[in-house]
């Protein structure tokens, strides 16, 4: 059962990451004015950041559990998950607060961030944040691609259970 929960968390995380970043955000910026689109996108990326952190931590725990149960295929996946988690932590919990502070300061000064004194710094942070998002996305695609087949996962778990039964029985 843990391998199924692992798959579910993986597709939720990677699916939301790809959907928000590459479908929803571009539509927002083509449908709304830049200030409104930026505010909505920032909120969505904040939610995505929390979702990514929770999924990443749970996936690392599950991967460790599955490796201890004999699922060697999950050993290499831990590195992809760790890389994605680092991208989340840097992008959403280090860069986003600075970007949001600049956005709020610009709005309080009566301007949007693109036409404020913060425009250059915001642009640089946005570029760095976008790079981390791209790396996280590519690692996520690799994670989905390298997921063990269901039969392999189930076989590894059954093997672990039978070994545990032999030790205790």
pLDDT digits 0-9 by tens, 110-137: 888 888 898 899 999 999 999 999 999 9
Mean pLDDT (whole number) for 133-149: 95
pLDDT of 153 reads 47
Residue 168 lies in a domain: no
pLDDT of 51 reads 96
Residue 161 lies in a domain: no
Residue with tokens 């590894």: 156
Residue 158 contacts by C-beta under 8 Å, 6 or more apart in sequence?
none
Residue 160 lies in a domain: no
44: containing domain:
2-147
**Calpha distance 33→13 (Å, rounded):** 28
Residue 48 contacts by C-beta under 8 Å, 6 or more apart in sequence?
16, 17, 20, 21, 92
**Calpha distance 113→154 (Å, rounded):** 52
Residue 81 lies in a domain: yes
Mean pLDDT (whole number) for 37-61: 94
pLDDT tens figures, 56-89:
999 999 999 999 998 888 999 999 999 999 999 9
Residue 153 lies in a domain: no
Residue 143 lies in a domain: yes
**Calpha distance 88→133 (Å, rounded):** 8
Residue with tokens 């087949």: 149
* Cα 90-92-94 angle, rounded to 5 deg: 50
Residue 154 lies in a domain: no
Residue 152 lies in a domain: no
Per the structure, the count of domains in the chain is 1
Residue 2: pLDDT band (50, 70, 90) is: confident
* Cα 115-116-118 angle, rounded to 5 deg: 125
**Calpha distance 7→12 (Å, rounded):** 9
Tell me 115's DSSP state: G
Quote the tokens at residue 114: 């693109």
pTM: 0.83
Residue with tokens 């029985």: 169
């Amino acid at each position: 059962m843990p391998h199924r929960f692992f798959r579910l968390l993986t597709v939720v995380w990677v699916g939301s990451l790809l959907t928000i970043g590459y479908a929803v955000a571009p539509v927002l910026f083509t449908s709304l004015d830049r200030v409104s689109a930026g505010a909505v996108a920032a909120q969505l990326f904040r939610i995505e950041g929390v979702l990514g952190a929770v999924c990443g931590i749970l996936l690392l725990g599950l991967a460790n559990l599955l490796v201890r149960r004999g699922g060697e295929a999950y050993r290499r996946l831990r590195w992809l998950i760790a890389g994605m988690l680092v991208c989340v932590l840097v992008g959403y919990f280090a860069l986003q607060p600075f970007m949001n502070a600049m956005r709020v300061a610009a709005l309080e000064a009566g301007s949007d961030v693109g036409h404020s004194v913060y425009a250059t710094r915001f642009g640089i942070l946005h570029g760095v944040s976008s790079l981390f998002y791209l790396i996280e996305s590519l690692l996520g695609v690799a994670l989905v691609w390298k997921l063990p087949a269901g039969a392999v996962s189930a076989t590894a778990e059954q093997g672990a259970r039978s070994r545990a039964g032999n030790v205790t029985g």
